[in-house]
Homo-oligomer: A and B are copies of this chain.
Amino acid sequence: MSLLEARRIFETYLAAQNLKHSRPRLQVMESFIAAGEHLTAEELHRRVKRKFPHIGVATVYRTLKLMHAGGLCGELKLQDGTTRYEALCGRDHHDHLICTRCGRLEEVVDPDIEALQGKLFKRHGYRPQWHRLELYGLCGSCLKKSAAPGTQEG
């Protein structure tokens, strides 16, 4: 997603909520989009501070919450206990493939799975709102490493 696009969406959201688009807010948002990764609040704070040293953690948390409320980012509570944020705006739903060794996080989509999930909701009398699917395993490169001598895992 482009920075400009994100900025437009963010500003639209802020305006709609009667919120100000303050400099720190935009700086956090821009750093987040520029990172293009799934970051924790702390990681984002470190990144933001590289360019804007004065910005505090609280602002990062507050801005992430705003962006989440505005649909600009998603919040992922992963199994390892961390909470990561991902850019969402203008993007379709996707699931996550996560390497338990190196932490690599890939976005994946499978329309067939999505369709079956919809049926599952219906079968149980639920109205779907959203879902999350996280697939944990070892990625190709970690598999190679674990095949190499000296490194192995159960």
Q: Are B79 and A79 in contact (CB under 8 A)?
A: no
Interface 9-mer from A28-36, A55-63, A122-130: A122-130
Interface residue tally on A, bucketed by range: 35 or more
CA of A79 to CA of B126 in the docked complex: distance in angstroms?
18
Q: Are B110 and A126 in contact (CB under 8 A)?
A: no
- A129/B138 contact (C-beta < 8 A), A79-B77, A81-B77 known: yes
**Mask of A123-154 contacts with B, CB within 8 angstroms, 1/0:** 01111111111111111100100000000000
Interface 9-mer from A13-21, A41-49, A111-119: A111-119
Does A99 have its Cβ within 8 Å of any Cβ on chain B? Answer: yes
Q: Which residues of the other chain, B, contact A100 by a CB distance below 8 angstroms?
A: 129
- A125/B110 contact (C-beta < 8 A), A131-B133, A133-B131, A134-B131 known: no
Q: Which residues of the other chain, B, contact A131 by a CB distance below 8 angstroms?
A: 133-136
Q: How far is the CB of A136 from chain B (nearest CB, A)?
A: 5
Q: Are A117 and B133 in contact (CB under 8 A)?
A: yes
Does A78 have its Cβ within 8 Å of any Cβ on chain B? Answer: yes
Query: Which A residues are within 8 Å of any B CB, using their own CB?
Result: 75, 77-79, 81, 97, 99-100, 106, 108, 110, 112-113, 116-117, 120-121, 124-140, 143
